[in-house]
Structure 1
Amino acid sequence: MSTKLLGVIDATTFHKSLKDLIGHRTLAALPFGGRYRLIDFVLSNMVNTGITSVGVFSKYNYRSLMDHLGSGKNWDLNRKKDGLFFFPAPIFDVPVEQIGAFHHFGYHMNYFKRSMQEHVVVANCYSVFNMDFNDVLERHIQNGCDITELTKDGTSLEIYLLKRELLIELIETKDETGYTCIKDVIEDDNHNFISCSYQYHDFFVKIDSVESFYQTSMDLLQPDVWRQLFRKKQPIFTKVKDEPPTHYGKDAIIKNSLIANGCIIEGHVENSIISRGVKISKGSIIKNCIVMQKTHIGENCYLDSVIMDKDVKIEDSVEIIPIRPGRPTVIKKGVIQGALMNT
């Protein structure tokens, strides 16, 4: 069944509410869970479904995304036939916020016309979930649907399944029909297609704000959420990096946290997510924080509810606490936070 599916990931979205974290990277490449990027979830879902051809359509600041994906080897997509394809948008591309913009797909029509798969699954790049698209395809075929939209609790998940030939037709006729994306077709009461809905019931979150990014990251510390996302039979793949195990100092204290490899932990870490290569010096207390790759936290600091992007340096004796409950402080990539700049 899965050999009938072509995978398309729309990575063109830019959420202004996340600008402090994606000003230098595309949303698809936003680090998540200590060692993953957001695109890893939908891409792994496609691979676990058995999809062997995936096109990634990107637009903004996609250098880090290209570096992360590489040849697709970590997802078993470095193939002689099919595999991973990367399609950046032209510089003069017209801004469209909806997933699956036909004008963007139209620049790369050869990809769709040369593909041999009968159906296409078109998905956004910023959702955290774990599912098998074969179930959607089976229901789609059984019900004779033209377009199937995935939903949860009445809300669109911005994931669609349709025939490849129909997608090509919609792209080629966009100027006559006025449809700019798949959502336009579904919301048009006068369309002549059979539109279906597939109800998804497991864990699913769209990362579209700092608050949703922070809360979903903290949810990973709950065992039931972790088990729903990271399954033995449906693993989430990511770029492999060869780094040494994390070193814990004799006075280090770790409580309910995720710690990636390559770190040096000498302080107190609680309810936090620590990425690769982070150093937390002695006497420092880190609570309810997200610390991204290669950040260095000095001695005797107290940090609560802080999101630290890559390569941040926190000097000694810095204290940062939340101004408002539930709203984390974001420190941008490469910033040096000194004692005289305490929040």
Structure 2
Amino acid sequence: MNNRLLGVIDATTYHKGLDELTLHRSLAAVPFAGRYRLIDFILSNMVNSGIESVAIFPKYQYRSLMDHLGSGKNWDLDRKRDGLFFFPSPMIDSSNSGIGSFNHFVANIDYFYRSSQDYALIANCYTVCNIDFSPVLQRHIQSGCDITSIQQLNQPLEMYLVKKDLLIDMIQTRRQTGYTCISDIMADIHQPYTICHYEYKGEAVTIDSVQSYFQASMELLTPDVWRNLFLRDFPIYTKVKDEPPTRYLNGCEVKNSIVANGCQIEGKVENSIIARGVKVGKNTIVRNCVIMQKCEIQEGCVLDSVILDKDVKVEEGTYLTGTQSVPFVVKKGSIQGALMNS
């Protein structure tokens, strides 16, 4: 049934609370869970649900996002027919931040006209979840809804299912109606459409601040949360990198942590998420931290409640400490030294 469903990912959103992690990348490309990006979750959900055509509408700093997704091969979207499409925002109405901006869609309206699918699923790029959209489409058709909003505990997840022809009409009549996006329609109690709600009961978290990002990362270390998010029959796909296994050297100690491949661990790692290619030196303690790709933490360091963005170097003997509610964030490619923090 889902060959009738078109996937649309709105990657134009900007959250001020994530400034420290989105300075050099779009929100969709923020690393998560050691080896994934935020967009991997909604994109994998769509592919696992049988969606064969996905359009991504990026806006800010999207070079790293395009590099990550490439042709869509890792999601089986490198196709001669349908597949993965990029439609960068023309920066029209840059003040609008609602999901499903009609001004962004109208610049590529031909995509919707030429698509053979009958329905469109419009979703944000920053909700971490694992949803099967098949029952959502079935419920939408059976109920005769104009718009189905997916929600959890009566809170919207900003994912909307709508008939494609109706979506095109919404786009074309946006100036007459005053609706600039799907979110505008949902917020108007006088809107003329039949709105339905689909309650999702699985794991879902919205990443809209450094605090929510850090909390969601730490919750992944709970086995039940991990198992409910990373389902065997609905895997989360990501860009494949051919890297060697992680080396655990003599004297190292790793507890309750997620460690990706290509790392070298000599010190102590506890309650942390370690991404690909990270080096942790001797007599170093990394506790309650999120360490992104290719960071180097030299000997004799102590890190507690810290987020290291990619390619950060922490020099020998450095102490970095944050809290669970306010983690200490080190920007991408920077150097942290003991003398700098004394």
TM-score, L = length of structure 2: 0.98
Report the equivalent of 2:271: 271
AA aligned opposite 1:35: R
Report the equivalent of 1:141: 141
Deviation for aligned residue 1:33: 0.3
Report the equivalent of 2:90: 90
Residues matched between the structures, number: 342
Asked if 1:341 corresponds to 2:340, the answer is: yes
AA aligned opposite 1:247: R
Find the aligned partners of 1:188 and 1:288 in 2 and give their Cα distance. 42
Asked if the contact 2:92–2:103 (Cα under 8 Å) also holds between the matched residues in 1, the reply is no
Report the equivalent of 2:26: 26
AA aligned opposite 1:128: V
Find the aligned partners of 1:154 and 1:34 in 2 and give their Cα distance. 30
Deviation for aligned residue 1:154: 1.8
Deviation for aligned residue 1:91: 4.2
Deviation for aligned residue 1:94: 2.6
Report the equivalent of 2:3: 3
Deviation for aligned residue 1:202: 1.2
Asked if 1:236 corresponds to 2:236, the answer is: yes
Report the equivalent of 2:159: 159
Find the aligned partners of 1:12 and 1:54 in 2 and give their Cα distance. 15
Find the aligned partners of 2:25 and 2:38 in 1 and give their Cα distance. 12
Report the equivalent of 2:128: 128
* Pair 1:4–1:325, CA change in 2 (3 A): closer
Report the equivalent of 2:330: 331
AA aligned opposite 1:330: V
Report the equivalent of 1:66: 66
* Pair 1:45–1:325, CA change in 2 (3 A): closer
AA aligned opposite 1:153: L
Find the aligned partners of 1:94 and 1:259 in 2 and give their Cα distance. 39
Report the equivalent of 1:247: 247
Any idea what SS the aligned residue of 2:24 has?
coil
Unaligned runs of 5+ in 1: none
Deviation for aligned residue 1:92: 4.9
AA aligned opposite 1:276: R
Deviation for aligned residue 1:152: 1.2
Residues 315-334 of structure 1, C-alpha deviation per residue, up to 9 Å, x if partnerless? 00001122x55211000001
Residues 31-75 of structure 1, C-alpha deviation per residue, up to 9 Å, x if partnerless? 000000000000000000000000000000000000000000000
TM-score, L = length of structure 1: 0.98
AA aligned opposite 1:273: I
Any idea what SS the aligned residue of 1:120 has?
strand
Any idea what SS the aligned residue of 2:87 has?
strand
Asked if 1:321 corresponds to 2:321, the answer is: yes
Residues 166-185 of structure 1, C-alpha deviation per residue, up to 9 Å, x if partnerless? 00000000000000111222
Deviation for aligned residue 1:243: 0.4
Unaligned runs of 5+ in 2: none
Find the aligned partners of 1:59 and 1:260 in 2 and give their Cα distance. 29
RMSD between superposed Cα atoms in Å: 1.0
Any idea what SS the aligned residue of 2:168 has?
helix
Find the aligned partners of 2:189 and 2:15 in 1 and give their Cα distance. 29
Deviation for aligned residue 1:186: 2.5
Report the equivalent of 2:104: 104
Does 181-190 or 142-151 show the bigger shift? 181-190
Find the aligned partners of 2:191 and 2:245 in 1 and give their Cα distance. 57
Report the equivalent of 1:196: 196
Deviation for aligned residue 1:208: 0.2
The share of aligned pairs that are identical, in percent, is: 59
* Pair 1:325–1:116, CA change in 2 (3 A): closer
Any idea what SS the aligned residue of 1:145 has?
coil
